[in-house]
Amino acid sequence: MKTLMHFLIYLTIAGLVILLAIILGDYGTWYFAWLLGTVMLVLISAAGAALLDAQEEDEGRRRD
Amino acid sequence: MEIYLLLKVTWWILLGVLLMGLAIMVGMDMGVGTVLRWVGRTDSERRVALNIIGPHWDGNQVWFILGGGAIFAAWPIVYATAFSGLYVVMLLLLWSMIVRPLGFEYRSKLKGPRWRNAWDWSLFVSGFVPMLVFGAAIGNALQGFPFHFEWHLASFYTGSFLALFNPFAILCGLLSVALSVYMGCAMLMIRGEGELYARARGFLDRSALAALALFTLGGIWVVFLDGYQLVQGPAPGVAQTPLQQEVVRASGAWLDNFLAMPLLWLVPGLAYLGLAAGRWGALNDRPQLAWWLGALAWIGVIGTVGAAMFPFMMPSSAEPSHSLTVWNASSSEYTLMWMLGFTVVFMPLILWYTSWAFWVMRGKVSAKHVEADDHAY
Amino acid sequence: MIDPMVVELSRWQFAATALYHFLFVPLTLGLSFLLAAMETVYVTTGRTIYRDMAQFWGKLFLINFALGVATGLTMEFQFGTNWSFYSSFVGDIFGAPLAIEGLMAFFMESTFVGLMVFGWARLSKAQHLAVTYLVALASNLSAVWILVANGFMQDPQGALFNPDTMRMELASFGELIFSHDAQSKFVHTSIAGFVTAAVFVCGVSAYYMLRGRHLAIAKRSFRMAALFGVLSSAGVITLGDALGFVGAHAHPSKLVAMEGLWEYEEPPVGFNVIAIPNEEEMQNDYALRIPYLTSLLVTRSLHDPVPSADTLIERADERIRSGIEAVTALKALQDDPDDTEARARFEAHQDDLGYGFLVGFYAQDQDPALATEADIQRAARDAIPNMAIVFWSFRVMVVSGLLMLAFFTLAVIFTLRNDVHRQRAFLRFSLLMIPVPFIACEAGWLVAEVGRQPWTVYEVLPTWMSVSTHSVNHLIFSLAGFVLLYSIFIAIEMYLMVKFIRQGPTEHGHATAVAAK
């Protein structure tokens, strides 16, 4: 039941986001691009850090 | 046309609300800055005092920025005429204000007593001077500023800098300092303990008495002051420039609105109620109550000025007919409408997250706590 | 009467305080998102080293932020104090984005920055992360509104002059905020801030790696910043090109100055890589050219005409003559609003009103109606901004951008191999890179704002008319005050920054889950 509630809430949010994105994409293409690009930048740099942790753990294991 | 009239009055009220927000929130922080050196005798007490308002001063300061922005957007010619006319005063205000963020942020970053003392003094200046100027500006607005316009509405200011510090303006400035000290001390009592609490209560007591006296004196003074009367001009709801009206000066004219609408006498009543009851609350160790009553006092004081001056915003003493009023100084209907839309959406949001921030940071601040926290001011 | 010296000094004061403010802004725009990225890793993986990182860079962020806020106050005051005619003439449009900036962005940023600093112990991990993201979002939203305001000055969209209120009034809010100049400028500026922060973090991390201190934090910070930087520097270059393309059409006089194009040439037009513009002779004393390139960059074709200074001056000359008609008609309307002849004349010429104002600077009594033939020619010549400044600032910006892209490409190669801490020569180079993005940002400001001259609002309001009616003494007083205060500020800021960088992060956490065992 709780999962269903969460699912429905997130689904509604996703719907709203898509609606807003369509409007913004129509009138403010550049702003929209900035939004997507920034999210991507943050995620890639965060992923890079996680990758470094994995690399170091791997190296540490090989040294042992 | 009637919508435009309604928008003008709405924005006049909103400007008042912003000025009250500014006075209450920024004034509180500045009051702490003003009494910092006396309410806190040791470095650790001063740090506690700073950390009490530490999480909020930055957010509070935006009331000031928003006030400036709202005047610019809704009353552009008032913004332009006031800021350029009062050039030297505005720069002193600005310079004392820009030292403040640095005072908070940098003061406790280094240990030396000379370093910290220097910042304590700069916090005093950046608390005392802006509040004095704020009050003095309102005091001068009641008397009118010496400015006039050319045909294309370029403004010319013909007064001197020193004339702005006339006795009535200084009285208003001191009233504003007293109220800011009151609010600062109420906040220190809410979140402070021990000696700091006791001293803050003492300052609150004295500032409340001073504010009561100054407000009464100012009120009597206004009766003998030259006010302004709008004799004729275009209909209030029409787009117009300040060059199309006729205004005269008359002694005691600032009482006209009160005489026409006796209900308005309740507004100064709020100021008396707030100060007297707030002082009583503080002396009986109910600082929360004292804070809210202090805010009520600010609302009463600023509301009294607004009620007296309406519809004038910035009367001109050099050329009374060039005075800026609610009717001739506003932005266009379209801009006012859009701005109102944004305000209606974002103002409740601001109030909501500001109170959330205060709720998160609630509770007493102790010296031990401050010493232990790496991020503390 | 407006004293030309007051115009000159007001411009100097605005430029100096804006450039100073703009030293701190880009770092805030970018570092806030890097902080959010670091904290994201902390919250999702639970590795406390990322919290230490976020807190350490957060401390440097705040030292910078305080000065950004402080000097930003100056900017808000200055429109009123020094540019009062500008403020009342276009405040109906320009004030709105500034007020909305306070309402929507600055309030959020300032309230949550307090929680970001003081809330570590009081908020849950997810709450604190949300607060950090809100700070980052708000600081960039702030930039949106400021650049909407600036976009209006560069390319006034959605506004009309109203002769009954004697000012410009907003006609379309949508056109104002979605103007291509505002949009592209925001994207370019914000991403430039990202690049600045990335170079800063890489440089400081390189310092620790050179010293062999805080290796775990330095390597992770470097990795994150390098990836952040390589993408954003690629972005800033493409967006810069796009902004140039948008600007070239909206604002040809700036383009002409950026590219050093004095005389009209049949397309395709070559690109001046290096040139020495000579303002007196109105030609380049020396020019190294790449054929075809300007045409390709500006028109994306080989046949379309490219603007040049001489054609623009010629056009300005015509528009000034028409503008004088507009000003005299407007004055007649002001005396008698029912004068239908004057209203018709004004409506016929109102598009050139700004050009009529422009010539007032040279005319007797500053009255455009009294302008002589010589005055008109001088004013028309002014339609082209100072070419040497714009031309060279533009090249400094472009070269810095390309240099940073090259730097980040190398940085990514080294960090992905996880041996950047052994590349000592490269680390030293990273340290030297720290000033580059700041120089690029300042140069970018110069291109945009000097390139807009002689206008405050392009083709609507000339700079000389925008100033407040002060005496020179007023300006000397304020300039002296700013120089004194700002010098003290920068000294304190640099001192604290260097001190806290030397001191380094406080490490509570552990590098990896394995090491923790």
Distance (Å) from the C-alpha of residue C181 to the closest C-alpha of chain A? 10
Instruction: Dump the DSSP string for C137-196.
Output: HHHHHHHHHHHHHHHHHHS--SEEEETTTTEEEES-HHHHHT-HHHHHHHHHHHHHHHHH
Q: Which residues pair with B246 in a beta bridge?
A: B232
- Mutation for testing the C interface, residue in A27, A52, A59 having most C CBs under 10 Å: A52
B58 — pLDDT class (breaks 50, 70, 90) = confident
Of A40, A45, A53, the CB nearest to C47: A53
Provide the residue range defining the domain that includes C110: 25-69+85-250+390-449+483-516
Higher pLDDT, C293 or C64: C64
Q: Decide if C228 and A33 are in contact by the 8 Å CB cutoff.
A: no
B153 — pLDDT class (breaks 50, 70, 90) = confident
Residue whose tokens read 């720069």: B91
Query: If you average pLDDT over residues B270-292, what whole number do you get?
Result: 90
Contact C289, C270 (CB under 8 A): yes
What is the phi/psi pair of residue C281, to 5°? -85, -10
Residue C98 in domain: yes
C405: CB partners within 8 A, 6+ apart:
C230, C233, C234, C237
Q: Within 13 Å, how many C-alpha atoms sit on residue C336's CB side?
A: 6
Distance (Å) from the C-alpha of residue C412 to the closest C-alpha of chain B? 33
B53 — pLDDT class (breaks 50, 70, 90) = confident
User: Are 3 or more Cβ–Cβ pairs between A and C shorter than 8 Å?
Assistant: yes
Given CB atoms, is B259 within the 8 Å cutoff of chain C? no
Mean pLDDT of chain A: 88
Query: If you average pLDDT over residues B94-112, what whole number do you get?
Result: 82
pLDDT for residue C258 = 85
Which chain B residues are Cβ-neighbours of C69 within 8 angstroms?
Answer: 58, 61, 101
Return residues 173-212 of C near B (CB < 8 Å). 173
- % of chain C with per-residue pLDDT over 90: 40
- How many other CB atoms are there within 10 angstroms of residue C297's CB atom? 17
pLDDT in tens, C349-397: 888 888 988 888 888 888 888 888 888 888 888 888 988 899 999 999 9
- The closest of C147, C154, C153 to C192, measured between CA atoms, is C147
Mean pLDDT of chain C: 88
- % of chain A with per-residue pLDDT over 70: 100
Per-residue pLDDT at C474 exceeds 80: yes
Query: If you average pLDDT over residues C307-324, what whole number do you get?
Result: 88
pLDDT for residue C514 = 36
Q: List the single residue in A with minimal CA-CA distance to C239.
A: A30
pLDDT in tens, B322-349: 999 999 899 999 999 999 999 999 989 9
Per-residue pLDDT at B277 exceeds 70: yes
Across B115-124, C269-278, C395-404, least confident range: C269-278
Given CB atoms, is C367 within the 8 Å cutoff of chain B? no
C512 — pLDDT class (breaks 50, 70, 90) = very low
Query: If you average pLDDT over residues A18-23, what whole number do you get?
Result: 87
Mean pLDDT of chain B: 88
pLDDT for residue B270 = 92
Query: If you average pLDDT over residues C258-286, what whole number do you get?
Result: 82
What is the phi/psi pair of residue C264, to 5°? -65, 135
Which chain A residues are Cβ-neighbours of C132 within 8 angstroms?
Answer: none
Contact B336, B330 (CB under 8 A): yes
Query: If you average pLDDT over residues C263-287, what whole number do you get?
Result: 81
d(CA C449, CA C468): 19
Q: List the single residue in A with minimal CA-CA distance to C41.
A: A46
Chain C residues within 8 Å of chain A (Cβ atoms): 33-34, 36-38, 40-41, 44-45, 47, 50, 140, 144, 174, 177-178, 180, 183-184, 186-187, 190-191, 194, 219-220, 223-228, 231-232, 235, 415, 418, 511-515
Q: Decide if A41 and C194 are in contact by the 8 Å CB cutoff.
A: yes
Instruction: Dump the DSSP string for B96-141.
Output: HHHHHHHHHHHGGGS--HHHHHHHHHHHHHHHHHHHHHHHHHHHHH
pTM of the model: 0.89
Residue C350 in domain: no
Per-residue pLDDT at B1 exceeds 70: no
pLDDT for residue C511 = 44
Query: If you average pLDDT over residues C224-249, what whole number do you get?
Result: 87
pLDDT in tens, B168-227: 999 999 999 999 999 999 998 888 888 888 888 889 989 999 999 999 999 899 888 888
Model-level ipTM above the cut of 0.90:
no
Contact B377, C132 (CB under 8 A): no
Query: If you average pLDDT over residues B98-115, what whole number do you get?
Result: 81
Highest mean pLDDT pick, B64-68, B228-232, C402-406: C402-406
pLDDT for residue B374 = 67
Which chain C residues are Cβ-neighbours of B357 within 8 angstroms?
Answer: 111-112, 114-115
Q: Is C501 exposed, middle or buried (0-12, 13-18, 19+ CB in 10 A)?
A: middle
pLDDT in tens, C317-339: 888 888 888 888 888 888 888 88
Instruction: Dump the DSSP string for B147-181.
Output: EEE-TT--EEE---SGGGS-HHHHHHHHHHHHHHH
Query: If you average pLDDT over residues B13-33, what whole number do you get?
Result: 90
pLDDT in tens, C171-196: 888 888 898 888 889 999 999 999 99
C515 — pLDDT class (breaks 50, 70, 90) = very low
pLDDT for residue C409 = 94
Domain count, chain C: 1
Query: If you average pLDDT over residues C463-488, what whole number do you get?
Result: 90
Question: In Å, how far are B149, C153, C361, C474 from C462, measured between CA atoms?
Answer: 19, 11, 9, 22
